[in-house]
Structure 1
Amino acid sequence: MANDVGKRGHTLLIVEDSRSVAGLLADRIGLINGVTVLVAGTLEEAQQMVLARKDELFLAVLDLNLPDAPDGEVVPWVLSQGVPALVLTAGLDDNERDGLMDMGIVDYVNKTNPSEIEHVVRTVERIYRNRHVSVLVVDDSNSARAYLMELLRRYGYRLREARDGVSALAQLAQHEDIRLVLCDQNMPGMDGVTLIGRIRQRYCRSHLCIIGMSHYGSGMLSARLLKAGANDFINRPFLEEEFFVRVNQNVELIELIRSMEESANRDPLTGLYNRRYLADAGGMLFDAATRTGHGLAVILMDLDHFKSVNDRFGHFGGDEVLRKVAHHLTDITRSSDIVARYGGEEFCVVAQDMDNRKARVLAEKLRAGIAGLCLTIKGQAVPLSASLGMAVHLGSGLEDMLTRADRLLYEAKSSGRDQVRMEQENP
């Protein structure tokens, strides 16, 4: 079962009567790529904006004391429209804090502390990114599961749910976008420790976070869950603020690890994959092609006369050409293909499920596309072409295919450039 909240819009509403605070927030939040910011200074203005653009709003940042709503009336009204709310306040006592949390706000921030403005910005960015993050809630209790999902909904997560371990494993197998699992310990058939152990047989800690939960927590239980493979443990009942902090920290850890891995696998100039990733992922595609009998094409291409581009326009001009070519290659190929920068002006494409005819069509499309790029640097046209060599017989491994593709690339260069050389059909 799924409950997706990732369909919200890209607009944020700031309701704040202090122009300086509203301006500072709008400027900082406006730097988040993709977010549009609206500003209102009164409850009346906020109501008009919400009613006109409710479907576009993913969050509202609300001042608790407005000229026409001095007692926080803006908060329940905005929440009643289905818009999550982050509250700005000059100070709260415990009863006021409990009242706001019971309403279902995302969080509250003391705006008298200048450093808290950055907390607001980070929270907004977190909620905006969460539209692409799926969380799986596993609990046999309908009410407990619904409560957890309501909390997660406030932070904009995409939600999936399961009543037991078997359905949880099925959800994970079906939905690769799940980044966090909230797992209750006490479930019939398969308890939390067992489920977590099963999950860890397939998903490592750095790619999927698991938070174990229980009403009967103890040091021994939390240790068992952590040893089984959980990243964290939460005792029930819990403070909602603690819950949000734990969940967000674990998701951010996953994102950080993925970002570091992505950086290690990418060429910093073009953004394409590097040779390290090509060797690892390409090797897996080769193994899959060997196993299934489906075709695999390895295409090496080299830009013709690229030294003359560097001589005419300098290395900055050459770098711009490489970036444009990389963008073109990404546009033409499929998401399942590997596109890598192989060397200085050399690129490589590894395409799976390719027979000889499809491989030839792809290679010619790549060649013609590069030749057809309309590039100008400093007002001068930059003519481009590329020579391509393509291996389609599996042979002994990916390195073998790369070696043969390189030999064919050399033949294309020697025969006049701007052409594709491909292996002949098997005898």
Structure 2
Amino acid sequence: MSVQGTILVLDGVSTNRIMLKVQLTAAWYHVVQGEKLEGLAALLRRVRPDLVLTAQTLPDGTAADVKSLIAKNPALGDVPVVALTAQNDKQARLRALADGLDDVLTHPFKDTLLLARIRSLLRARADTQDLQFRESPQSLGLAEPETPHVAAPKRARVAVLAQKPRNGALWQKALSGQSRYALNSHHQSDLQALLSGPIPDAIVVELDADRSVLNILADLRSRGATRHTVLIGVLIDNNATRASEALDRGADAVCLGGFCADEIVLRLDNQIARKSRMDQMRDSLKKGIAESWIDPLTGLQNRRYAMRAIQQIAQQSAQTGRGFALMLADLDHFKAINDEYGHASGDCVLTQAAARMQQVVGKAGFVARIGGEEFMIAVPNISRAKALTMASTLCEAICAVPFRLPDQRTPISATISVGLKMSAPTYLSQEEAEPVEQLIKSADKALYAAKQAGRNQVQIRQSAA
């Protein structure tokens, strides 16, 4: 049997636990059972569940106590906790949501709705875990991560997407007392109006008997602009099948039994807070990835970026048959600058030299700092003549204007040597084209030749192809 995940069921009533175990085991989940809070911490450490279903009231505590205990464990803090309440107990449902529970299900449980809600929560947790892994300093090779608490936006944008304009107006009015929301209402037939303005943080979608609205949920979830927008469905009745379909189409939560402003507000608060945390993790991940490719001193790309970029340029060149230039550049006598003026002044020269080279190359290619005073430049789709001109301009940019240092009255002069390797694969396959490692070695030999010839000049090695 293939196990889809581990679910911990907590309930003081054995028959309730047994019924849930039968339902969940039939769906290939591994089910672990518990009765009360006592001993739960040890059980959590041993089992490490993917999701917890807990009765609203346990013999020695509540669902809120379970949520609090799990939240204290860093390894389990993102595990969804769902409260199980009695049928038609609206106040219990609102209380559970107010206590921060991830969702509420009522007895008796329809298989379709129970399993759809579990799938939805496990997908959300998988997204969180994926971001946490990718954002971790180990995965990016970075230092200690910053993990500040993120609150929900002070004024989140919330849109009501109604099937009937009158419902949209009524729902917007009912929510308008929540000053933390910037509200607007749209008709479901006019998605363009909703998508043409600022993208909402959350959308409350009316789900009626028209099945086409389920396609709207799927459409919103698949669009890049609204892929991370919170989607909350509102069902006029208690149709478990339609609620299940809505969850599987992308809804983050579904409210049964009609519009309830109190429940919508609680779900919006919980879901928007989660979205804010996820957005911050995505932003942090993007920043971390970007910084992992950047040399912190000069702001140029680093060696890690350069090696991947030159590989991609070579692959494209092999596919198109158009040549590219690879240059290695090294500041001449840089050690003498460090020895005479100090490393801070040497860093200043490196920074200014990097800016000058970047200005010469512009968007035609990339400039990367790959060593202490060594740089790599690669330019795709360039002829030999233009590459030589660019390399000569790089030399001129360094030697023509002395470098000003903060603690020196007189600017100092510096020069640079450039080794140029032209690659012109002309319809060679990627396998037949010259390996990148060999291209770099050839450029390095050209750089050595420039140093041997007196520095402050360009030497070229032409591809044999």
TM-score (norm 1): 0.52
**Correspondence for 1:407:** 445
Alignment partner for residue 233 of structure 1, among 241, 252, 265?
Answer: 252
1:303 aligns with 2:331: yes
Amino acid at match of 2:449: E
Aligned counterparts, 1:211-226, within 5 A:
211=229, 213=231, 215=233, 224=248
- Cα 1:336–1:225 shift into 2, 3 Å: farther
Q: Answer yes or no: is 1:382 the counterpart of 2:412.
A: yes
- 1:267 maps to 295
Displacement of 1:341 after TM fit? 0.7
Question: What one-letter code is carried by the residue in structure 2 that aligns with 1:361?
Answer: T
User: What CA distance in whole angstroms lies between the structure 2 residues aligned with 1:145 and 1:381?
Assistant: 60
Counterpart of 1:141 in structure 2: which amino acid?
A: Q
Q: Conserved in 2, the CA contact under 8 Å of 1:209 and 1:254?
A: no
Are residues 1:257 and 2:285 paired?
A: yes
Letter in 2 for 1:274: N
What's 1:75 paired with?
none
Q: Where does residue 342 of structure 1 map in the other structure?
A: 370
User: Counterparts of 1:34-53 in structure 2 under 5 Å?
Assistant: none
2:297·2:347 contact (CA, 8 Å) conserved in 1? yes
**Which runs of structure 2 are paired with 1:24-423 in the superposition (5 Å)?**
98-99=176-177, 101=179, 104=182, 141-144=188-191, 146-147=193-194, 150=197, 152=199, 210-211=228-229, 213=231, 215=233, 224=248, 233=252, 239=265, 245=273, 248-335=276-363, 337-377=365-405, 378-393=408-423, 395-423=433-461
CA distance in 2, matches of 1:181, 1:339: 44
Measured on the aligned residues, the alpha-carbon RMSD in Å equals 4.5
How far does residue 221 in structure 1 lie from its aligned partner after superposition?
5.2
Separation in 2, partners of 1:354, 1:181: 50
SS in 2 for 1:390: strand
CA contact (8 A) 2:233 2:253 kept: no
Unaligned residue ranges in structure 2 (runs of 5+): 1-153, 157-172, 426-432
Change (3 A) 1:373 1:215: same
| Aligned-residue offset at 1:388 | 0.3
Aligned residues: 267
For residues 304-346 of structure 1, the C-alpha deviation after alignment (integer angstroms, 9 at most, x for no partner) is: 1111100111111101111111111222223352211121110
Q: CA deviation at 1:426?
A: 4.9
* Identity of matched residues, %: 24
Report how far residue 391 of structure 1 moved: 0.7
How far, CA to CA, are the matches of 2:300 and 2:418 in structure 1? 18
Letter aligned with residue 358 of structure 1: K
Q: 1:34 maps to which residue?
A: none
- Contact 1:303–1:387, Cα closer than 8 Å, also in 2: yes
Any stretches of 5+ residues in structure 1 without a counterpart?
1-84, 88-94, 107-138, 156-179, 227-231
1:268 aligned counterpart, secondary structure = coil
Shift of 1:425: 7.0
2: CA distance, partners of 1:183 / 1:280: 44
Change in 2 beyond 3 A, CA 1:98/1:213: closer
Alpha-carbon distance in structure 1 between the residues aligned to 2:458 and 2:203: 48
How has the CA–CA distance of structure 1 residues 405 and 242 changed in structure 2, closer, same or farther, with 3 Å as cutoff? same
Q: 1:196 to 1:423 in 2, by over 3 A?
A: farther
Distance 1:190 1:328 in 2: 54
AA at the equivalent of 2:404: T
Q: What are the Cα deviations for residues 200-242 of structure 1, in whole angstroms up to 9, with x where unaligned? A: xxx9xxxx9644736369885577467xxxxx93658855666
Distance 2:453 2:296 in 1: 33
In structure 1, the residue matched to 2:169 is none
1:4-48 per-position Cα deviation (integer Å, ceiling 9, x unaligned): xxxxxxxxxxxxxxxxxxxxxxxxxxxxxxxxxxxxxxxxxxxxx
Q: Deviations over 1:40-97 (max 9, x none)?
A: xxxxxxxxxxxxxxxxxxxxxxxxxxxxxxxxxxxxxxxxxxxxx979xxxxxxx998
Measure, in 2, the Cα distance between the counterparts of 1:248 and 1:353: 43
| Partner in structure 2 of residue 52 of structure 1 | none
TM-score of the two chains, using structure 2 as the length reference: 0.48
